[in-house]
Structure 1
Amino acid sequence: MAKKTLSAIGTASDGIARTPSKSQKAFNALIARIEKRRAALAEWEVFGADFQRRFNEEFTPLLGRFNAVRVELVHRLDQAYDTKGLTKVERRTIGELITHIAGKLMASIDDPAIAELHQRYRTHDPEAEAAALDDRRRMLEAVFGASIADDVDLDSPDDVMRYVREQTHQQYEREREHQEARENYHANRKKSPKREAAEERARAEQAEVHLSIREVYRKLASALHPDREIDPVERERKAALMQRVNIAYASRSLLDLLEIQLELEHIDQAALDNISEDRLKRWNTILKEQLSDLEMELGEVELGFLIKSRMNPALVVSPKNVKRALTATINDIRETIKGFEQYVRVVDDGRGLKPWLKQMKWHLAEI
């Protein structure tokens, strides 16, 4: 049986165009937005398989090679530090290179030897370090629109994104707790008759909302209960449909339940066009909750791809942009590995070490 989707309601009657009511307009808008979010999630799911394959087969091995060649360079520089004929400036440049590269490595791998070299060559300039750290923190805070704590490792994109995600979730929880506290405060206050009446109406409306989705569920459950079916083929079909119904009801997905009713021809477009305003309002309340859940799920999916692809957080997160970002990241790492392999050869050879150190002194931040 082909899956059916809801069409806009209240736009035509017996072939004659008409203006939908306010509740019908809201219903149509919610359905359209939910379908858009569903389509986006489906697109990410299809895209995710190819993305994960490339991530595992291309990016992960390259990252391992990149870390390995950086580790090798740090050790070669450490060995070159005592080379005869080097000036104090050149030795200081070697120390700065070791500190810089080792610092970045420590954000990716756990290597005690690299940590020891970083500590040994590190020159402590509290004011300069604090100023540089503050600049980077302000830049990241401007991008994400959130404060970043002092203990977050700004050299690790994963740590920064994880912290931002945790802060967003905590902010949501604080707002929810604040709202609950306000509701509890008002609930414990002596209420005026007018307020008690308003709260009673709100409770009644919430109960009606629950009953609305339960009513649809019970009608489907009654029609699809597989134990009442004698024919084994039909019993299997109903069992599969009942599984969809149960999943939809558990997630409060009114849209899925209505679409199953359409598939089974329990309702048709004419019936939907004539749903009462009161029922539509209750349905719209449920659909708003479903839309909110979908938007939260979509946000989590997009954030995951943003972190893995290492794309610019200021860009729109879409499969096209994520694919482009991953490709750019893979190509950048390949080229960077070639550069670091050349650095290792230069340091090993020794004859080009002095000119190379002079050049690297001015390009330290770029490696």
Structure 2
Amino acid sequence: MQKSSVLRIGQPKTVLNKRQKEFNQLSDKIEQLDILIPELRNAYYLLVERVQKEYNPIVMEFQSFRVELVRHLDRMYEKDLYRKAYLTKLAYLISEISLDLIVNYKFEELLPIFNKYSEIDFETALKELKLSDSQLIDSKLLAEENEITEEEPFHELDIEEQERIKAELRAAKAKAQQNGARQILQQQKTTKSVRKVYMDLVKAFHPDLETDEAEKQRKTEIMQRVTQTYQENNLRELLKLQIEFERIDQDHLENLGKEQLTYYNLVLKQQVEELEKEKADIQQQISYLCGLKPEHANSLTTVVVRFNTNINEVKAEIKEIKNTLKRWKEPSLLKTFLKTYQIPNMTIFDDEDDF
């Protein structure tokens, strides 16, 4: 839908009351989000395309070199060039890398190599991976639960304390019901405010009673815009349409009554909340694709720069693993690496220099 001009009350130097300022602030925020959200959506679509065409192929190229690395380490192990401490490290590296390649990149052809070097079978390893992921989630939940203190059971409290709690619950329930009724009333009034603007436009531009065909076509197109905007509960755009079609002028906005402006602001707040949620959803999708923190995904340029960085990082990893493969074809260089490498959570004493 074509967007009309910026909606504001008063001129830049006009002295405005609190509600008028809030109206302008909300309108400005919606204007910004109306520009930003399509930009972010385009960034997301661009990422989806580039992930398929550019990122995934080079990631799989890198993983194919890891497969080659696993096979090379397998051959080196079979040559029996190193003593037990080094072979233990080799076996660990082979099983860990091959497990990742099987589970995350579907290189099932490495399963025999994994089973050859792993101390546990593949199904058990898979269960342990899932358990590890589950424990990570549980630890986060536990940290949140630890913030909640346990209270003494109600039935163990004395009668006076029980009565006090019951009175508080009754008061809280009554307040919640009162607030709920007030919210329903406000919602009815805000909906009525939007409908009032909508009906003004319907009365002015409904094409059914129009006899001139050209004018009927023009009004039909106008009503399509008006109806779509009303269905979106978009008060701001309805007001802009009123101005565009000269149903109201700026003086009308500046002279809105206190109550009417209050409910207009409520509707605009709802629109801001909905747009903010839409923006957050798109930012989260972008974050998933390129690793950028959602709150930092705030422009097409930022997203593209981060994605290009990701591409360059994978290319650098490919260059590095190719160099590693080349170096490790020399047994002494592989041994040098194994000498300093430590299996996580395991201490291996290694003071000998021979193979």
- TM-score under structure 2 length normalisation: 0.72
Following TM superposition, the consecutive aligned residue runs of length 4 or more in structure 1 with deviations greater than 6 angstroms are 185-188, 195-199
1:178 aligned partner: none
Q: Please give the alpha-carbon distance, in whole angstroms, between the structure 2 residues aligned to 1:255 and 1:215.
A: 13
1:144 aligned partner: none
In the alignment of these two chains, the number of paired residues is 305
Q: Secondary structure at the match of 1:150?
A: helix
1:167 aligned partner: none
**CA-CA distance at 1:199 after TM superposition:** 6.2
Residues 1-367 of structure 1 aligned to structure 2 (within 5 Å)? 3-11=3-11, 18-106=14-102, 108-114=104-110, 117-118=113-114, 120-122=116-118, 149-150=134-135, 202-311=183-292, 313=293, 316-318=296-298, 319-346=300-327, 350=329, 352-359=330-337, 362=340
Decide whether aligned partners of structure 1 residues 322 and 119 sit closer, same or farther in structure 2, where only a CA change above 3 A counts: farther
Decide whether aligned partners of structure 1 residues 236 and 362 sit closer, same or farther in structure 2, where only a CA change above 3 A counts: farther
Structure 1 unaligned runs (5+)? 125-132, 138-147, 154-159, 164-184
Structure 2 unaligned runs (5+)? 121-128, 142-168, 344-355
CA contact (8 A) 2:280 2:294 kept: no
Q: Please give the alpha-carbon distance, in whole angstroms, between the structure 1 residues aligned to 2:218 and 2:66.
A: 59
Decide whether aligned partners of structure 1 residues 112 and 196 sit closer, same or farther in structure 2, where only a CA change above 3 A counts: closer
**CA-CA distance at 1:345 after TM superposition:** 4.4
CA contact (8 A) 1:94 1:357 kept: no
Rg comparison, structure with higher value: 2
- Structure 1 residues 144-184: Cα deviation after superposition (integer angstroms, max 9, x where no partner): xxxx852669xxxxxx9xx9xxxxxxxxxxxxxxxxxxxxx
For CA contacts below 8 A with separation 6 or more, give which structure has more relative contact order. Answer: 2
2:346 aligned partner: none
**CA-CA distance at 1:120 after TM superposition:** 4.7
Structure 2 counterpart of 1:41, one-letter code: I
**CA-CA distance at 1:265 after TM superposition:** 1.4
Decide whether aligned partners of structure 1 residues 281 and 314 sit closer, same or farther in structure 2, where only a CA change above 3 A counts: closer
Q: Please give the alpha-carbon distance, in whole angstroms, between the structure 2 residues aligned to 1:209 and 1:66.
A: 57
CA contact (8 A) 2:102 2:108 kept: no
Q: Secondary structure at the match of 1:306?
A: helix
What value does the CA root-mean-square deviation take over the aligned residues? 3.8
CA contact (8 A) 1:78 1:98 kept: yes
Q: Please give the alpha-carbon distance, in whole angstroms, between the structure 2 residues aligned to 1:84 and 1:2.
A: 73
Q: Please give the alpha-carbon distance, in whole angstroms, between the structure 1 residues aligned to 2:308 and 2:22.
A: 41
Structure 2 counterpart of 1:217, one-letter code: Y
Decide whether aligned partners of structure 1 residues 240 and 79 sit closer, same or farther in structure 2, where only a CA change above 3 A counts: farther
Structure 1 counterpart of 2:297, one-letter code: V
Q: Please give the alpha-carbon distance, in whole angstroms, between the structure 1 residues aligned to 2:341 and 2:209.
A: 77
Q: Please give the alpha-carbon distance, in whole angstroms, between the structure 1 residues aligned to 2:313 and 2:178.
A: 65
**CA-CA distance at 1:246 after TM superposition:** 2.8
- TM-score under structure 1 length normalisation: 0.70
Q: Please give the alpha-carbon distance, in whole angstroms, between the structure 1 residues aligned to 2:206 and 2:338.
A: 74
Q: Please give the alpha-carbon distance, in whole angstroms, between the structure 1 residues aligned to 2:291 and 2:180.
A: 49
